[in-house]
Structure 1
Amino acid sequence: MDLISLSDGDNGLRVRVLGRRSPGVPHLHDQLDAEVLITSSFVNGRLGMSLSPTDLEDWSRALALLDAGQDICWRDDDHSPEIRIQPHNEEHETPVVHVEDPGSSCVSVLLPMNLEEGWIDEQRRLLGQVMKEWPSEVLQSSPGVYEWRR
């Protein structure tokens, strides 16, 4: 299931959620395995990543900032692919997505995209589907102590 799906037919970025990392293991149950997929006429790539409930909350906040016309940086932690989005790039006169993998391959890709109106609302819809499919079911009551939500 896609968490992020941006494409103009020539360039594309998808963050695809593959499922729970370790279902039934409380401290890993809410971790989601995912992958970043980049497509363009010049380069195609795939990077594995893990998502936590906090990452999904951060993505929700990032979408609000994009909706307000602000640039965002999501997953800036030196261990995961970093995704930066400019809702309007003056040089390209379009939205621009920049994906960088500082922790592993050190590869960076810039994707200008002619996105259709409503693209931010579509990303909110995708986020809602992911959160419905894989809701947070574990509560960390204190450091290192996990319990099932009731």
Structure 2
Amino acid sequence: MFPYDLVRLSDLENEVVITVLSPMDSPFWEAQIVVTSTFVKGTTLLVLSPAKLDSWAKALGELRRGRDIVWMETDRGPTISIQLDGERDCPEVVVEDESLSMVTVRIPVALEEGWIADQQARLGRFKEQV
């Protein structure tokens, strides 16, 4: 089961992936965010909890309704924002790691149709296994 790509937002050039690395003290999981583009590559760690998984499910519902989202904003650690209509005519993913590295990265990702359903399926498979 581990590692498991819980979130994979990718096109041919840019990618944001959240990989669950291993279980920690129940019910928490160690994970990492990896941002890769032709220009930049970065990684930061985070801890996932059932509450964060539930808020991701709600965020995916908002995206399905055509609304931009901010995920994990109130927690210590990284924040993920997805803007559906970015400056480059495709969604943009913003990863802010203000609590640790103080770095923010904005990545345009030309996502294929059905990408939200794919993220919902990934989340569902993870929840079934844990």
User: Please, what TM-score do these two structures have when normalized by structure 1?
Assistant: 0.82
Distance 2:55 2:108 in 1: 23
Q: Does 1:62 align with 2:65?
A: no
Distance 2:24 2:116 in 1: 27
> Secondary structure of 1:125's match?
helix
Distance 2:76 2:40 in 1: 22
Q: Does 1:11 align with 2:14?
A: yes
Computing the radius of gyration over CA atoms, which structure comes out larger, 1 or 2? 1
2:95 matched to which residue of 1?
Answer: 99
> Secondary structure of 2:38's match?
coil
> Secondary structure of 1:121's match?
helix
- Number of aligned residue pairs: 127
Note the residue ranges of structure 2 that are not aligned, 5 or more in a row.
Answer: none
Distance 2:118 2:68 in 1: 18
Q: Does 1:83 align with 2:80?
A: yes
2:69 matched to which residue of 1?
Answer: 72
User: Please, what TM-score do these two structures have when normalized by structure 2?
Assistant: 0.94
CA contact (8 A) 1:5 1:13 kept: yes
1:108 matched to which residue of 2?
Answer: 104
Per mean C-alpha deviation after superposition, the further-off stretch among 78-87 and 108-117 is: 78-87
2:49 matched to which residue of 1?
Answer: 52
Note the residue ranges of structure 1 that are not aligned, 5 or more in a row.
Answer: 23-28, 135-150
Distance 1:42 1:30 in 2: 36
Per mean C-alpha deviation after superposition, the further-off stretch among 38-47 and 72-81 is: 72-81
Deviant stretches of 4+, over 3 Å: none
* Shift, 1:80, TM fit: 1.1
Identity across aligned pairs (percent)? 39
